[in-house]
Structure 1
Amino acid sequence: MLLYPGDPVQVLLGGDVVVTGYVDDFTPALSSGAHSIAISGRGKCQDLVDCSHFFNGCQMTNITPLAMAIQLATPYGIDVVSDVGAGEVVPVWQLPWGETPYNILEPVARNSQMLVYENPDGSLRLSQSMRVSAGVRYPVVAEGINIESITMRWSMAQRFSQYIGRSLPMDTMSDMGVGTDVVAVVNDPGVPRLRVRSIIAETGDTSDFQITKARANWEAVRRAGRSTQATVTVDSWRDDAGNLWQPNTLVTLVAPTVHVPRVNWLISEVAYRRDETGTHADLTLMPPEAFAVQPINLFPTMRDIVAGAAKGGG
């Protein structure tokens, strides 16, 4: 049976669904001594990324990220689930005609520290990156057990020793350095020399610069997390409990030969392969901090007024 562009498709590994969506491309090819057929596609949530929203109106009021996701996804036949509740109520949000559901939803979800991604069954998921919990045993990725190859990368290229959150001073000729315009200072002890990055407060930040402070902390945490990455090939699509390796799940990485004695990191990407050498999974691993959600200023003007109206207006 052939699959053609637009056909629904579901990909399974054993009895586990990994993708539910539609065929994008059908590419048959013929050359001397060879005939091949290639099919590529994406999950159902591609319609939330590609298409314009189909909501009956251009504004939502007193809406949570979960409720917004449901209203945006339902016209495209996509279910929505949340691991982290409904999220923070947003007093009002504009929906420009032509904008995609994902671009509308993502900043509102980010305001509630939510990640937005697709489940294997094609549903839209609101979640958070997993955090390490004391006493919990995670699937093991270890040399001498299931690692076939591993490449480690440590980088200092995008890290800074100090992140300084600054308000906008009126005196542009004032002396440089830590002055009255400084609202937050976050240090990264892993950077061995002076490397300073200033975070300028956005118009509409709260009166005590909560967003700027959160941004300075996020810059330090996320950049430190992203500076470390392991690319690992393991000998199976599944962990020792028989579960498929999946993104946004924690594993314990043990690879002392490449200077990783034992860490609990998050899977960011998985590629399942089967070729003449057998079955393999390629995993990209990073510290959980690499996936910290960026703080956002939803209301760049009159934020305090909007927040106060939301509390008082009911």
Structure 2
Amino acid sequence: MSETVTAHARNWIVRVNGKAIHNWTTCEAGIDLADLAGVFRFTLAEKVPEDSSYQPTVKMHDAVEIEIHSVVVLKGFVKGLNSSGSDRDLSVTVSGRDKTGDLVDCTANPVGPAEYRQIALETVIGHLTSPYGVTVSRQVETGAPFTLVALEQTDTVLGAVERLSRQRGVLVTSDGLGKLLLTKAGTTRVQDKLVYPGGNVSHMEAQISERHSDVYVKGQFNSVLRGSKSALNVGSVPGQTTLTNGHRAKELGASCRIGHCVDPGVKRFRPIVHMAKTQSGASAATQNSANPTLDSVAQGQGTTAPAGNAAYQTGTRAPKRKRTPARQAADPWSLQDQADWRYRTARAHSEAFVYTVPGVLDATGALWRPNMLVPVQDWYNGLNGDMLIGAVTWANTGHGEEARISVVPPDAYDLSGEADTPPTSGRRKTTTGTTWGKS
């Protein structure tokens, strides 16, 4: 065993099936809010087999535990092995996910039930995850029970959980140790900062991609505004049906629901439509409320969009569009919440800034963690304010420790809108031309 491995073993411990191993050379583990499961990877310097009695250090499906600076950050299972060797040496790369990893590619309820009615978010998620030994911790309010939860035969657990959580504005993430957290973004703060250049950042990487101007979620549901009995019911007198003015329009509005969210940072007309695939528009409270009002651009009447059957309207400047208002506490849960969720997560995926810092501990001696607010000063990318840590990878390179910290806009995973335009947050003027924060 080399001196390098011996030195690192004091702060990093890799256990396989409960037993610490000592022949690893590099190791990394990470948690990303955009992915349900945490991941790990480490390399082994194995002995070349001398006879058939040889036993490798790690096998497929072995249980793995990674401890960094006396803190267990991940418990999971081996998902992949890649080995290469010669007569003189043998190297193996071991990769895997934490205990929630099986939820990513395994089927939800393969033998049923396929439907749940009047059920809370945390209850249905608990039903789906309990066979995998994964527990659920609810840290925020999850809204009213679902009228109906219908599962597709081919749904994965992750697909079902993601579809349900987005319409309640709940962030679902793993703690790395076998527990799903139903939480919200950015409730705690790092007592440190990220500064590039001239600060604690040794390497910066920016990943910026295009997104859509208008996000629609559409669904069609049975109207629940009618009476529970038909006008003619066998065994009883005819029921009473009262027709009101606008009855047809009300029925149409009740059954055909939409959610719509505007991204004011996108200056061109770039709409996208998602189908709901859930019953979040089926409650009486939702169907009694109006669908969102669309501005002229969303209706195809803006200066850069087709105007109905007419030709493109002329104009020299793109119209300024208003941000979609945040939901209010009294608002019924609807497809609008799904549209908000898709808009914010699309923003998170389109703009990520990754900063590598030496060591895995912040200024207070605690491990860098995801889902925390951190002040960022980056003159190149125009960042000067609070950002949300969307992902952290702790790495032991064999020559030292480092943390790769990915930050996203502070409201990236927030449905409530509470983080919109915070006074000390956001980008001001950038090389990319996009803006957020206080205007």
TM-score (norm 2): 0.53
Deviation at 1:281, TM superposition (A): 1.2
Q: Which residue of 1 aligns with 2:203?
A: 149
Answer with 35-44 or 137-146: which moved more. 137-146
Q: 2:291 aligns with which of 188, 209, 213?
A: 209
Cα distance between partner residues in 1 of 2:94 and 2:263: 49
Q: 1:197 aligns with which of 270, 273, 276?
A: 270
Q: Which residue of 2 aligns with 1:231?
A: 354
Q: Which residue of 1 aligns with 2:121?
A: 65
Give the letter for the 2:168 counterpart: S
Identity score, percent: 24
Give the letter for the 2:132 counterpart: Y
Deviation at 1:219, TM superposition (A): 6.6
More helix by share: 1
Alignment CA distance shift 1:10-1:273 (3 Å): same
Deviation at 1:138, TM superposition (A): 4.3
After superposition, what is the alpha-carbon deviation per residue over 1:209-243, rounded to whole angstroms, capped at 9, x for unaligned? 14576677667655555554322110111111222
Cα distance between partner residues in 2 of 1:226 and 1:77: 30
Cα distance between partner residues in 2 of 1:183 and 1:236: 44
Answer whether contact 2:212 2:263 (CA < 8 A) is retained. no
Matched, 1:35 2:90: yes
RMSD: 3.6
Give the letter for the 1:107 counterpart: R
Q: Which residue of 2 aligns with 1:269?
A: 391
Deviation at 1:287, TM superposition (A): 0.8
Q: Which residue of 2 aligns with 1:116?
A: 172
Give secondary structure in 2 for the equivalent of 1:121. coil
More strand by share: 1
Matched, 1:140 2:213: no
Matched, 1:106 2:174: no
Cα distance between partner residues in 2 of 1:102 and 1:83: 19
Q: Which residue of 2 aligns with 1:13?
A: 68
Alignment CA distance shift 1:68-1:214 (3 Å): closer
Answer whether contact 1:117 1:125 (CA < 8 A) is retained. yes
Cα distance between partner residues in 2 of 1:12 and 1:166: 42
Matched, 1:93 2:149: yes
Matched, 1:78 2:160: no
Give secondary structure in 2 for the equivalent of 1:150. strand
After superposition, what is the alpha-carbon deviation per residue over 1:215-273, rounded to whole angstroms, capped at 9, x for unaligned? 776676555555543221101111112221222222111233x2545221112222222
Alignment CA distance shift 1:67-1:19 (3 Å): same
Alignment CA distance shift 1:98-1:231 (3 Å): closer
Give secondary structure in 1 for the equivalent of 2:113. coil
Answer whether contact 1:199 1:215 (CA < 8 A) is retained. no
Answer whether contact 1:49 1:101 (CA < 8 A) is retained. yes
Give the letter for the 2:290 counterpart: D
Deviation at 1:64, TM superposition (A): 0.9
Count of residues in Structure 1 that have an aligned counterpart in Structure 2? 271
Q: 1:248 aligns with which of 371, 374, 391?
A: 371
Answer whether contact 2:103 2:129 (CA < 8 A) is retained. yes
Give the letter for the 1:148 counterpart: S
Give secondary structure in 1 for the equivalent of 2:388. strand
Cα distance between partner residues in 2 of 1:106 and 1:219: 11
Alignment CA distance shift 1:57-1:280 (3 Å): same
Answer whether contact 2:341 2:413 (CA < 8 A) is retained. no
Answer whether contact 2:67 2:74 (CA < 8 A) is retained. yes
Cα distance between partner residues in 2 of 1:185 and 1:94: 25
Cα distance between partner residues in 1 of 2:261 and 2:128: 39
Give secondary structure in 1 for the equivalent of 2:356. strand
Give the letter for the 1:263 counterpart: G
Give the letter for the 1:252 counterpart: P
Answer whether contact 1:118 1:124 (CA < 8 A) is retained. yes
Give the letter for the 1:82 counterpart: R
Alignment CA distance shift 1:44-1:224 (3 Å): closer
Give the letter for the 1:31 counterpart: S
Matched, 1:52 2:125: no
Alignment CA distance shift 1:103-1:232 (3 Å): same
After superposition, what is the alpha-carbon deviation per residue over 1:157-201, rounded to whole angstroms, capped at 9, x for unaligned? 3354xx49799xxxxxxxxxxxxxx9978462x55xx51234669
Alignment CA distance shift 1:118-1:220 (3 Å): closer
Cα distance between partner residues in 2 of 1:213 and 1:68: 22
After superposition, what is the alpha-carbon deviation per residue over 1:124-168, rounded to whole angstroms, capped at 9, x for unaligned? 221222268xxx66431224442112234555x3354xx49799x
Q: Which residue of 1 aligns with 2:318?
A: none
Cα distance between partner residues in 2 of 1:185 and 1:46: 32
Cα distance between partner residues in 2 of 1:275 and 1:9: 19
Superposed, which structure 2 residues align to 1:172-191 within 5 Å?
186=262, 188=264, 190=265
Answer with 273-282 or 42-51: which moved more. 273-282
Give secondary structure in 2 for the equivalent of 1:88. coil
Alignment CA distance shift 1:137-1:24 (3 Å): closer
Answer whether contact 1:138 1:250 (CA < 8 A) is retained. no
Alignment CA distance shift 1:28-1:49 (3 Å): same
Cα distance between partner residues in 2 of 1:267 and 1:25: 28
Give secondary structure in 1 for the equivalent of 2:367. coil
Alignment CA distance shift 1:200-1:39 (3 Å): closer
